[in-house]
Structure 1
Amino acid sequence: MLAEERQQLIMQMLKENNVVKLQEICERAVCSESSARRDLQLLEEQGRLVRIHGGAKIKHSLQQELDMDGKATKNVPEKALLAKEAVSQIEDDDVIYLDAGTTTLAMIPYLTEKHDLTVVTNGVLHASYLADRGIRTILIGGALKNTTKAIVGVKAVSYLGQFRFNKAFLGINGIHHKYGFTTPDPDEAEVKQMALEQSEETFVLADPTKFDIVSFVKVADLSQATIITTGLSPQLNARYSEQTTIQGAIR
């Protein structure tokens, strides 16, 4: 396989999984590690990826955000694991906040195992699915963001400020040991911040591809929420455990 073909393959692998390991490149491209490393170095110099220990990850724009359809097809098995672990934190009679997003959406089928819940959400799809399952649901008011089907804006933040939660569950775009939890949209960031402030406990659901990523707007410091993740490398786990609690979803 020619170098250009290998590099195209690497970018395709990154589009599929956000992170690619050196060994996976060698197996798919049938090449040596030295060739794969040269390809990664060249692609990083072109600004198309970021090299990490043992491989590479996709380079995100600070303001890049997929729509709900795009997010729904990514890391589906991991989202199910995160959802199960998140729901295990919920007790009967809890009042919880569910952030808009596909990872928190994956929690809803498991919520039926709990009793007498009240769920407040800014996710239009979330509210619909919760109602279908007979769960007491409050959808906050405000402006609808078409891409993520989230309710945002000043009215949403004000409305959310009326409630108190036992637990809040948030999705996030970036987790960084220096810059904390970040997201591309200032309006969604404000809603997440208010939910965090109004909750006794906050959990951020994130697969390993969200780590060492920085997005446009800071939501909170790492110490303000527990991270639920899966398959985190020992290096990342050690780095982030210094600042917050990491809960691993078991496969």
Structure 2
Amino acid sequence: MTSAKQRRHQGVLEILQETGKATVSELGLRLGVTEMTIRRDLEMLENDGVLQRFHGGAKLAFGSSYEPPFPVREKINADQKRLIGLQVAALIDDGDTIILDGGSTGLAVAEALVDREVTVCPLSLRIAWAFARSTSVNLIMPGGSVRPAELSLSGADTIDYLRGHHFDAYVMTASGVSLEQGFTEWNADDAAVKKAAVGVADRVITAVDSSKMNRVGFVRICGIEVPAAIVTDAALSAEDLAPLRRQAQEVVVAGSPN
């Protein structure tokens, strides 16, 4: 269950992602809390390294041209990602062998699968650790280099491991989704692993929250038409959903009837 403080922190980051910067009074008004509460929240978020305070307000600690750090992504759209995780888990059959991406949405999928009888090949140490308490998941670890901070696995050893196996499904996350460019990533090493994973799975299920729509990362992974299902959340606008449905094999909106 998300606490009130976690919801406020998520709200602060979503507002700053939308506006670039905001004053304490603006944040307090939009979130319905006192300026004193907002100041405490900003101090905690600055200590986490995800924003920078200035006199009377704050701005994000990163620009719009590269991947936000994991602590930011973990807080943004957290409730939507939880619903996406549950929906993706519903598309997985017991006994399946699965490649599971890292990142905040991948972590939500892992949490939804932790009590299932499946075999999981995680592409991140965070994802592997999410299954630490599970007695039903068969965890198989690829080799590779660990990307600092992100903790994703990449490199020739990771790709060779994937290409030496066959999987029922690949649960893919992405930094950006657009009708023209398809699914994209900021990091070239991560994108290379994702491309390899697409090639060794019977089906691809893409888990992307609505904030990723109409964003384009540095490296293309695959087109919109490749995944068997794209799972997103109900915050995706009707203007974006309609053309996505036309180009994709299937679009599943988590938390709402389809």
TM-score, length basis structure 2 = 0.73
Per the TM alignment, residue 113 of structure 1 is displaced from its structure 2 partner at its CA by: 4.2
**Aligned equivalent of 1:138:** 140
Counterpart CA distance in 2 for 1:131 and 1:158 is 25
- Give the letter for the 1:130 counterpart: F
Per the TM alignment, residue 224 of structure 1 is displaced from its structure 2 partner at its CA by: 0.6
The within-5 A match list for 1:1-251 is: 15-16=14-15, 18-19=17-18, 28=30, 60-61=64-65, 64-115=66-117, 117-134=118-135, 135-225=137-227, 226-231=229-234, 232-244=236-248, 245-250=250-255
Q: Which digits, 9 at most, give the CA deviation of each residue in 1:170-221, with x for residues without a partner?
A: 1111101111110011110011111111111111111111111111000001
State whether residues 172 and 194 of structure 2, in contact with CA within 8 Å, keep that contact through their aligned partners in structure 1.
yes
Counterpart CA distance in 1 for 2:125 and 2:13 is 30
State whether residues 99 and 171 of structure 1, in contact with CA within 8 Å, keep that contact through their aligned partners in structure 2.
yes
- Give the letter for the 1:93 counterpart: G
Instruction: Label 1:212 to 1:167 Cα distance change in 2 as closer, same or farther (>3 A).
Output: same
State whether residues 13 and 76 of structure 2, in contact with CA within 8 Å, keep that contact through their aligned partners in structure 1.
no
State whether residues 17 and 74 of structure 1, in contact with CA within 8 Å, keep that contact through their aligned partners in structure 2.
no
Moved more, 80-89 or 106-115: 106-115
Per the TM alignment, residue 234 of structure 1 is displaced from its structure 2 partner at its CA by: 1.2
Counterpart CA distance in 2 for 1:243 and 1:159 is 32
Task: State the Cα RMSD in Å.
Answer: 2.3
Counterpart CA distance in 2 for 1:230 and 1:72 is 16
- Give the letter for the 2:254 counterpart: A
Moved more, 81-90 or 133-142: 133-142
Counterpart CA distance in 2 for 1:13 and 1:149 is 25
State whether residues 180 and 221 of structure 1, in contact with CA within 8 Å, keep that contact through their aligned partners in structure 2.
yes
- Give the letter for the 2:230 counterpart: I
- Give the letter for the 1:144 counterpart: V
Counterpart CA distance in 1 for 2:152 and 2:98 is 17
Secondary structure in structure 2 of the residue aligned to 1:120: strand
Secondary structure in structure 2 of the residue aligned to 1:107: helix
Per the TM alignment, residue 156 of structure 1 is displaced from its structure 2 partner at its CA by: 1.0
Q: Which digits, 9 at most, give the CA deviation of each residue in 1:138-178, with x for residues without a partner?
A: 12111110121101111111111112111111111110111
Identical aligned residues as a percent: 25
Structure 2: stretches of 5+ with no match in the other structure? 1-10, 20-25, 31-62
- Give the letter for the 2:122 counterpart: T
- Give the letter for the 1:203 counterpart: I
Instruction: Label 1:207 to 1:179 Cα distance change in 2 as closer, same or farther (>3 A).
Output: same
Matched positions, count: 204
Instruction: Label 1:242 to 1:124 Cα distance change in 2 as closer, same or farther (>3 A).
Output: same
**Aligned equivalent of 2:49:** none
Secondary structure in structure 2 of the residue aligned to 1:139: coil
**Aligned equivalent of 1:44:** none
Structure 1: stretches of 5+ with no match in the other structure? 1-11, 29-58
- The 4+ residue runs of structure 1 with deviation greater than 6 A are none
Counterpart CA distance in 2 for 1:229 and 1:109 is 17
Q: Which digits, 9 at most, give the CA deviation of each residue in 1:12-52, with x for residues without a partner?
A: 977537447xxx99x95xxxxxxxxxxxxxxxxxxxxxxxx
State whether residues 17 and 75 of structure 1, in contact with CA within 8 Å, keep that contact through their aligned partners in structure 2.
no
Counterpart CA distance in 2 for 1:123 and 1:158 is 16
Q: Which digits, 9 at most, give the CA deviation of each residue in 1:54-93, with x for residues without a partner?
A: xxxxx831xx112222221111101100000000001111
Counterpart CA distance in 2 for 1:98 and 1:139 is 11
